[in-house]
Amino acid sequence: MYLSKPVKYQKRENPNSDFCCVPQCEMSGRFNSTVSFHHFPKNETVRKVWIRNVRRANLVIKRTTTVCSRHFVSTDVIDGGRRRLKEGAVPMLFAWNGYSLPAAIPSVCERAQRPEDEVEDSMDVDVLLQCHDYYAKPEPSALDMAYEKIEAQKQIIEELRKRVEEVTLKQSFGLERFSASDDDIRFYTRFASYRHLDAFWRQIEPATMRIVRVGTRTPTSTTAAQLLRPSRCLPLIDELFLFLLYLSLGLKEKDLGDRFNIHQSTVSRIIKTWVNFLYTLLGAVRIWMSPEEIGATMPSVFGKYSDTQVIIDCTELKCQMPSSLLLQSEMFSQYKSNTTVKGMIGVSPHGAVTFVSSLYSGSVSDKELFKRSGIIGLLDKDMAVMVDKGFRIDDLMPCKVYMPPFLTKKLQLSHSEVLVTQDNARLRIHVERAIRHIKENKLFDTVIPLTIAGSINQLFAVACLLANYQNKPLVQAWAK
């Protein structure tokens, strides 16, 4: 592609300091307006193409750094008042790619006044050739310049595509959005990191093919199951993420619907589906440990209490007061001065949750709850249980019980009894930490509404069982 007309450069009457930064180009603001100077574009992608094409080592782009119009295709330069470039235009005409820039012709006032015959006699043939167009080397072909322009446009399109993907990802509320931040994963799911959550997902993913969704009829055959299988609004892993958000942050269903851009009723079905699924799946895994397994993981701090099989304690969850006076009296807890539901948790000496009871009304005593929980059938005479003072279960136990001594009618405890009390409190801290971790799920941190009373038992059990996976370095394989 050639310039539309021959260009002559004359010295300005009022020259400026503009100059071209392209190597081997001597054009500056001394010449007239046939040459314009253009600053580097603000668009990062186009600017990188300019820098690459200019090929100037250690180029520092300043406010005064420009490229003259001789390095642009004529169709990229827009005339009319102040000359400017088309959007996305890049310099492509250089000496090193086969395009020879015409030399600047000095103005009339700079040439010496010599007789016409003397000029003709002294003029060299080479000078005569340089004054004609056929002396200049041919410009690169239109295909070459078009190819370079296409490549520049491709880079701009790729940059825009990446920006669109980033904006789309930020607008969507799913696990992929937070997968790069372990802090976000801990905040939203209670899992220690994305690696822990991903390991847990890989363990349960095969079982999700048999998940039974709430609100669908039970199929009588495989063909019917395929016909009745509802279409999912979210990927399965995002459904799990939604359930963990509900459990760990205690978000309302409408809030979750707005975040995931789905209907509130769909959120309700997803929560009920996943709480039943995880309650069945995790509940099928054996968490009660044998005495041999307990001994292999026994911390050294237990010392003379090394035969401890489980540390037990109760916890209460505040719930909305029912309208029935009978239910109010049954659920009222003297300890919390509120209507509550009460459950019992057992942990091994090294901190793993090994027993979870069902939830009972808040008025039940610790001893009665212990009797109803079913843990007595798991104990034998070679084991020992560590409890707090509220568990007066000596007459129920087939094994040894470690319990702080009572003051009874004495004025104060003896020195040995004080040491036993201190040792017991120092070791029972494991179950207190486990309960604290479970109740860090904000769903249990507030008053539980009666609307979820039908599934609160499953929610509490799932939260207790998830505690074994959220803080461990590796997720163990499921028990066969």
The tens digit of pLDDT for each residue in 412-435 reads 888 888 888 888 888 888 888 888
pLDDT at 143: 64
- Please tell me whether residue 385 adopts helix, strand or coil conformation: strand
- Please tell me whether residue 316 adopts helix, strand or coil conformation: strand
pLDDT at residue 474 is higher than 50 = no
pLDDT at 12: 55
pTM of the predicted structure, to 2 decimals: 0.62
pLDDT at residue 107 is higher than 50 = no
pLDDT at 464: 94
CA-based end-to-end distance of the chain: 75
The upper half-sphere exposure of residue 223, i.e. CA atoms within 13 Å in the direction of its Cβ, equals 0
- Chain Cα centroid distance, residue 48: 30
When mean pLDDT is compared over 34-38, 128-132, 172-176, 320-324, the highest value belongs to 320-324
Alpha-carbon span 479 to 406, nearest angstrom: 42
Which is higher by pLDDT, 62 or 269? 269
pLDDT at residue 118 is higher than 50 = no
- Please tell me whether residue 449 adopts helix, strand or coil conformation: coil
* 8 A C-beta contact, residue 339 and residue 332: yes
pLDDT at residue 129 is higher than 50 = no
Percent of the chain with pLDDT strictly greater than 70: 79
Alpha-carbon span 369 to 391, nearest angstrom: 10
pLDDT at 391: 86
Q: How far is CA 456 from each of CA 162, 319, 346, 447, rounded to the nearest angstrom?
A: 44, 10, 19, 12
Domain borders along the chain are 1-171, 176-283, 291-448
Which is higher by pLDDT, 16 or 250? 250
pLDDT at 56: 84
pLDDT at 83: 82
pLDDT at 412: 83
Alpha-carbon span 210 to 225, nearest angstrom: 10
pLDDT at 59: 84
- Rounded average pLDDT over 360-366: 92
Count CB atoms within 10 A of the CB of residue 35: 18
Residue 15: band (very low, low, confident or very high) from pLDDT cuts 50, 70, 90: low
pLDDT at 460: 95
Mean pLDDT of the chain: 80
What phi-psi label fits residue 88: left (phi over 0), alpha (psi between -120 and 50 degrees) or beta? left
